[in-house]
Chain A
Amino acid sequence: MAAPESGDGNNGAARMVTLISSDNTRFEVEAAAASLSQTLQLTILDGGGGGGDGIPLPNVDSATLSKVLEYCIKHAPAAANGGAPNATAVDRAELERFDNEFVNIDQSVLYSLIMAAHNLEIEGLQSLVAKKVADMIKGKSPMEIRRTLGFPDPTPEEQAEMNAHMLEYGWAYE
């Protein structure tokens, strides 16, 4: 697993920071992108992550981290503009398209992402993933939800509980 030194280039203008995943992979990204994370932002402002040190992220594995950074790099310019007040419609549409594609992934990756986004406090990403999971639930019956989200088949007790709930909140099932 290679860190992304190759593509990003080391031009002096952008400050780079190094992040170290739980499985010891090093990622070098622009500080602006990493700063989408509230947690990292504080460390970076303190001058951390530069040079050879790197910021260790013991809760995030390399696969998830690369995905998180993909999101951050894409969203960094808009975020730098303070919520993108002067972003064009084209830019916004492009971001939206990116987001839609970005979450079109395996469920396990989604959950890793939402946990990582939570740990790193990346609000936009958390919300994006939560919305994606919500979309998988929306309008479905409990059984369909169970199937979609990979619940095991309900035990008889769970089935009884399910029925009781349906009885209690009948209107929500109509």
Chain B
Amino acid sequence: MASRCDSGASAKRQRRRGDPEEGREPSAAVEEKDLISSLLLDLRLQILRHLPLKSAIRTGALSTKWRGLWARRWPEPSSIRRRVSCRGAAEKLLESFRNRGMHSLNRFSLTFRWKDLSPADFQRCVDYAAACAVEDLHLHFVDPPHADIVAVQLLGGGGDSFVTFSFREASPLLARVSILGVTIDLPQDAAARSFSALEIVSLRWVVLRHGSVRELVAACPRLHTLDLRDCTRLPLSGSTTIYDVRPGARLRSLTVTRCEVADLLADTASDLCSFRYCGNFIGSSSILASAPLHDLCICFDGAMSNLLGLNSTWLDALTNFSNLTVLTICSSTLPVSALPQFIPSRYLLDSFYLIVTDTLVIITEFQRPGSITYLSFEILRELQLVMFRMDHCYLAYIYEFFGTCYCPQLERLFVQFPCYKPFSFKLKMPFENEKVEEDMMSEELSEDDASKEELSRTAVLGKASVDEPSVEKVSEEEASSEVLLEAEVPEGDKLPGSTVPEEASMDKLSGAKVSEEEAPEDNELSGATVPQEEASVNELLESKVSEAPEEEDLSEEEVLLEDNWPEEERSEDDQLEEELLNNGIESLVLENDLKNLVLIKMLNFHGNKNEMKLVNSMLRKAARLNKLLLIAPKRHEHGFRKIPLDELHSLETELLLLEKASANVQIILRDSDDPATQSMHSEVITE
């Protein structure tokens, strides 16, 4: 036999039509480029059936002939993607499963609402998917009950009435799982019952028991991507630690945003190349200092950490930036020298003169003396700065960042200015059910006596803005002049502590809230960085509520002015100092870092003084810039007005007059975001 086989092969070689490459053979098709592609469709499908989903998908990249083939390897439909949107739909869905039979499934995606799918039907769907050996599973419960209710039910033994995804019954081939709003249940012996194929786990709005994440990670030896967003703990678990995240050594990508994480320890993950974190303060020892990061996002909302001055050491603690191409930091994680952020501006400026001197040293010698570290981001391509404040010292921080950090390859710069509807890390359900919100609100109204006043104000304001979104601008001038009066208090004289009472009540108000997009959130930004003016604006509003309830619309307008007022009432030489400071640093440090910059995008651009200054310096330094995209703040959901068109036009004119280093720069001012130019971390940051 063997000899015949050999002679066969040689016979075949003779028959090859001058094709130089090994492994070619003539077949029916004349124009075929490679042998496997010329196989009959059935045969290629048969090959695909022997592949795990991930590998099957990858064949889609081989050529046009292979493009959608992988999706057809199981009898149609090989992927089930359903949205259960009414009561009767579940019945139809289950019927369609019966008709389809138990063929293998590539993907099973189920989106449903609270009232439309009973827990029993949910279980049937999940069981069906598991029986079909599904490899990619998505269960999205778009309006899950509030975490507290789930907790009470689970602990009270009523867990059956809630939709729960049990990993115990999961398909053994499961490679990716994405769960939104569904409680997860892990078998007691999770580690023993290993999910050997599971590589990607994404949990959002999931209520977790203490230790669940750890158990899950332990049960998935191949887990390389873990994505936790808006997850909360089980509030009544009686444990002091909330829950901990201790991913395994194989982890390469870890995203934790807006979760109540008490303990995040990824220091065994030596291959971690993507780390994205938004939330309360965590220490830099959470990840391995030498982790080969490709992209890093660190944003804190932590008031406390700001006061302790801990934030700015985060980047300093990391040692390996040689692979870093994308970086996002916020105003509290800018690696500035350890200057407390609440000291009076006067002292701040004095300190900055010292830094100016240091900066001069850096520029010539590329090193910084003393405690100030010089960071080198050799291949950084994209930088995003999320600014929670943008007063003059933060502008200086930005300049200082470019002074102390070397990023010669930077191509894209994103700056997100404060939107005065600040960043919130609080639990907020991604569902538009207004009724639920209202119910929640009225419930709390009756419950919380201490903050009754604020609450009623919120309620009134909320109503005002909902009911009369078009009535605005009535007493605009009046209000803004009053803000100025109120603002007379020098910035430095007011420590953040002074806003605490107001904040406390606000936090109470919003803490238990499922979805609340109004004034209270403003205070969640962080104690230290919340503009004190905000509190006074609120007080102001409060006092005026009875006579002009529609003034809610104005509050944003008023706050828009916030960045301007300190300048206006500062003495002339203060301004001079600042000018010197900003121009001095800026002119020396920006050029190096901006030489390859082609795109700048600024979000929440109001056109106020500091924002314009930054734009101005960028334009003057970025010689290769070809696009400057300025996005005006988004229209507020509750009827806040946008920047008026005429204001936008005058801004536009002003921008056109600025000096530009690059001849080809295109300046675009828009009032809506451009989906084509999103930063890599935009979906992690924005909410």
Residues of A within 8 A of B (CB): 1-2, 4, 23, 61-64, 66-67, 70, 106-109, 111-112, 114-115, 118, 126-127, 130-131, 133-135, 137-142, 145-146, 149-152, 158, 161-162, 165-166, 169, 171-174
Contacts and interface: CB of A to CB of B under 8 A. Distances in A.
B308 interface: no
B446 interface: no
8 contacts: A70-B5, A108-B35, A115-B27, A134-B50, A138-B55, A145-B58, A152-B34, A161-B67
Contacts of A126: 43, 46
B435 to A, nearest CB: 35
A127 B55 CA distance: 18
Contact of B62 (A66, A133, A145): A145
Given A134-B50, A138-B52, A111 B25 contact: yes
Given A108-B25, A114-B46, A149-B35, 6 more contacts: A70-B5, A106-B9, A112-B12, A145-B58, A151-B33, A173-B58
A140 B34 contact: no
A61 B7 CA distance: 12
Going nearest first, the 8 A-B pairs with the smallest beta carbon separation are A63-B8, A134-B50, A142-B61, A172-B57, A165-B61, A107-B23, A108-B25, A150-B23
A2 B37 CA distance: 33
Contacts of A63: 4-5, 7-9, 11-12
A171 B176 contact: yes
B373 interface: no
Nearest to A158: B63
Contact of B47 (A112, A134, A174): A134
Interface string B38-82: 011011001111111111011111111001000000000000000
Nearest to A131: B50
Contacts of B59: 137, 142, 145
Contacts of B63: 151, 158, 161
Contacts of A134: 47-48, 50-51, 55
A6 to B, nearest CB: 12
A130 B49 contact: yes
A141 B59 CA distance: 9
B24 interface: yes
B34 A67 contact: no
Contacts of B127: none
A149 B252 contact: no
A9 B52 CA distance: 45
Contacts of B33: 151-152
A141 B23 contact: no
B34 A161 contact: no
Nearest to A73: B1
B204 interface: no
A174 B1 contact: no
Contacts of A151: 33-34, 37, 62-63
Interface of B: 1, 4-5, 7-9, 11-12, 21-25, 27, 33-37, 39-40, 42-43, 46-55, 57-64, 67, 176, 199-200, 224-225, 252-253
B141 to A, nearest CB: 21
Contacts of A118: 40, 42-43
A174 B34 contact: no
Nearest to B35: A111
B58 A172 contact: yes
Nearest to A118: B43
A166 B253 CA distance: 17
B34 A149 contact: yes
A145 B36 CA distance: 11
B248 to A, nearest CB: 15
Contacts of A158: 63
A137 B4 contact: no
Contacts of B43: 114-115, 118, 126, 130
B24 A150 contact: yes
Contacts of B51: 134, 137-138
A141 B61 CA distance: 9
B223 to A, nearest CB: 11
A66 B50 contact: no
A70 B1 contact: yes
Contact of A108 (B4, B12, B62): B12
Contacts of A70: 1, 5
A172 B35 contact: no
A2 to B, nearest CB: 8
B185 to A, nearest CB: 24
Contacts of A152: 21, 33-34
B678 to A, nearest CB: 13
A162 B5 CA distance: 37
Contacts of A141: 58
Given A63-B8, A142-B62, A172-B57, A133 B36 contact: yes
Given A63-B12, A108-B24, A169 B60 contact: yes
Interface centre among B1, B225, B253 (most CB of A within 10 A): B1
A113 B8 CA distance: 12
A174 B199 contact: yes
Given A63-B7, A140-B58, A150 B22 contact: yes
Given A149-B34, A151-B62, A171-B176, A139 B55 contact: yes
A125 to B, nearest CB: 12
Contacts of B22: 106-107, 150
Nearest to B7: A1
Nearest to B202: A171
A150 B39 CA distance: 14
Contacts of B58: 137, 140-142, 145, 169, 172-173
Contacts of B21: 150, 152
B62 A146 contact: yes
Contacts of A145: 58-59, 62
A96 to B, nearest CB: 16
Interface centre among B21, B27, B55 (most CB of A within 10 A): B55
Interface centre among B11, B34, B62 (most CB of A within 10 A): B62
Contact of B9 (A109, A131, A150, A173): A109
A130 B46 contact: yes
A139 B7 CA distance: 34
Given A118-B43, A166-B61, A169-B60, A107 B225 contact: no
A62 B37 CA distance: 23
Contact of B35 (A61, A62, A107): A107
Contacts of A4: 1
B482 to A, nearest CB: 51
B252 A162 contact: no
Contacts of A127: 46, 50
A126 B7 CA distance: 23
A174 B200 contact: yes
A155 to B, nearest CB: 10
Contacts of B7: 1, 63
Contacts of B36: 111, 133, 149-150
Contacts of A146: 34, 62
Interface centre among B22, B42, B43, B224 (most CB of A within 10 A): B43
